Structure formats: structure tokens, C-alpha cells
């Protein structure tokens, strides 16, 4: 519980459906560079099917595995930091479709991730002064 609270404050994540376990920060090599990986889980009970829109009644929408996304975090520090978000997958018995748990933070961090890319481009430009 404490871990989730502290890390959420650190990463500025407010989504109550995202939890962090103890020892969720791992430092390992990624393509020859040392990176930090923070693991989190996103899960909840959906009120409706995201595909057909039918209400989740009598367990019509069930949990069906997970899907992990790697999101670049805009943390400053020695190493690049990624959030490994394990997202709950759901299966709707009514329409026989699967869908993945959603979180506003994922979109937000994708946006920040794009900002990070823009910054890298700007830095690369700075190295080549215009004549």
C-alpha cells in the first residue's frame, strides 16, 4: 500500500486502478544502456463492454489475461525510465470480443513521451548550428 502511494506521488499518477507492488523498480540493460523499469498493474471491473456497450451484468464481462505496454516516463535522472503497465484484458460473453483496460495516464504519458521525442530532436538540431 505504501509503495503504491509513494510511487504514484513520484510519478504523478492519480488513477486509482493502477497499483505498484513492492520491489517494482528494476534496473537492467536495454540495448546496451542501463534503464529503470517500473512495473505497475492496471485493473478494474468494467461497468460496460467497451466494444458492444452492453452493461456488465451477471459476469457477462470476464477477466481474460493481460497485455503489457512500455511507456517512456519523463523522469530526470541518470537512466531512462520506463513504466511497464500490465493492463487487464476483458472478454465480453455477449459479443465475444476482447478489450483492454484503459487509463487516462497512458494517453497523458504517450503525449509526454512525444514531448520527450521532440526534445531529443531539438537537441540534435542544436548540435548542428545553422550557418
- Grid-cell match 500500500, residue found: 1
The interface region with Zn ion, picked from 4-12, 19-27, 85-93, 103-111 by CB under 5 A, is 85-93
Cα 23 to chain centroid, rounded = 17
Write down the least CB distance from residue 17 to Zn ion, Å: 20
Residue 35 · residue 83 · CB < 8 Å: no
The interface region with Zn ion, picked from 7-15, 32-40, 50-58, 66-74 by CB under 5 A, is 50-58
The interface region with Zn ion, picked from 12-20, 74-82, 94-102, 111-119 by CB under 5 A, is 94-102
Write down the least CB distance from residue 47 to Zn ion, Å: 12
Q: How many angstroms separate the CA atoms of 64 and 54, rounded? A: 17
- Which of 35, 84, 95, 100 is in the footprint of Zn ion by CB under 5 A? 95
Write down the least CB distance from residue 65 to Zn ion, Å: 17
Examine residue 92 and tell whether it contacts Zn ion (CB under 5 A): yes
Residue 7 · residue 20 · CB < 8 Å: yes
Examine residue 51 and tell whether it contacts Zn ion (CB under 5 A): yes
Largest CA distance in the chain: 69
Q: How far is CA 36 from CA 5, 46, 118, in A?
A: 19, 31, 21
Examine residue 49 and tell whether it contacts Zn ion (CB under 5 A): yes
- Which three-class secondary structure state does DSSP give residue 85? strand
Measured from the CB atom, the residue of 18 and 49 that comes closer to Zn ion is 49
Contact residues for Zn ion, defined by CB under 5 A = 49, 51-52, 92, 94-95
Amino acid at each position: 500500500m505504501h509503495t503504491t502511494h509513494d510511487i504514484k506521488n513520484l510519478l504523478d499518477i492519480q488513477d486509482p486502478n493502477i497499483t505498484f507492488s513492492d520491489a517494482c523498480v528494476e534496473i537492467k540493460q536495454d540495448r546496451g544502456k542501463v534503464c529503470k523499469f517500473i512495473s505497475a498493474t492496471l485493473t478494474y471491473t468494467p461497468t460496460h463492454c467497451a466494444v458492444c456497450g452492453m452493461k456488465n451484468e451477471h459476469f457477462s464481462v470476464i477477466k481474460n489475461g493481460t497485455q503489457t505496454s512500455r511507456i517512456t516516463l519523463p523522469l530526470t535522472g541518470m537512466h531512462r525510465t520506463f513504466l511497464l503497465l500490465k493492463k487487464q484484458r476483458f472478454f465480453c460473453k455477449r459479443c465475444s470480443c476482447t478489450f483492454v483496460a484503459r487509463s487516462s495516464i497512458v494517453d497523458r504519458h504517450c503525449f509526454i513521451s512525444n514531448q520527450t521525442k521532440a526534445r531529443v530532436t531539438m537537441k540534435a538540431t542544436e548540435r548542428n548550428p545553422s550557418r
